């Protein structure tokens, strides 16, 4: 349990001091979900609808921010060399 807490503490320290692009996108998405949830509260929607809509807004913001930061919708895997596909059944 102490190892887990130490890792969480190190991760939080890194997010504050030197965040990666993924961490930046996640933080922006969380803030967008909080803002959307407060906005939907004023519309007097039921809790389940309001929460689901806020999570949807968070996903949309996550993809938009990720695209703006990296230039790709899905970041490429590091060290992933594109090898030619070999079909063993139809050579």
Domain ranges of the chain: 20-70
Contact by Cβ (8 Å): 54, 36: yes
Contact by Cβ (8 Å): 32, 76: no
Q: How far apart are CA 72 and CA 59, in angstroms?
A: 16
* Residue 85, pLDDT above cutoff 80: no
pLDDT, greater one: 29 or 44 = 29
Tens of pLDDT, residues 7-22? 989 888 888 898 888 8
Q: What is the pLDDT of residue 29?
A: 94
Q: What is the pLDDT of residue 82?
A: 63
Contact by Cβ (8 Å): 27, 69: no
Q: How many residues does the chain have?
A: 91
Q: Has this prediction a pTM greater than 0.85?
A: no
Residue with tokens 């060399």: 81
């Amino acid at each position: 349990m102490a190892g887990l807490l130490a890792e969480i503490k190190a991760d939080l320290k890194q997010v504050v001091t030197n965040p990666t692009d993924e961490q930046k996108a996640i933080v922006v998405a969380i803030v967008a979900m909080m803002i959307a949830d407060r906005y939907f509260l004023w519309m007097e929607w039921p809790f389940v609808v309001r929460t689901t809509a806020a999570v949807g807004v968070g996903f949309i913001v996550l993809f938009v921010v990720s695209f703006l930061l990296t230039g790709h919708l899905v970041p490429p895997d590091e060290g992933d060399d594109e090898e030619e596909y070999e079909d063993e059944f139809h050579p």
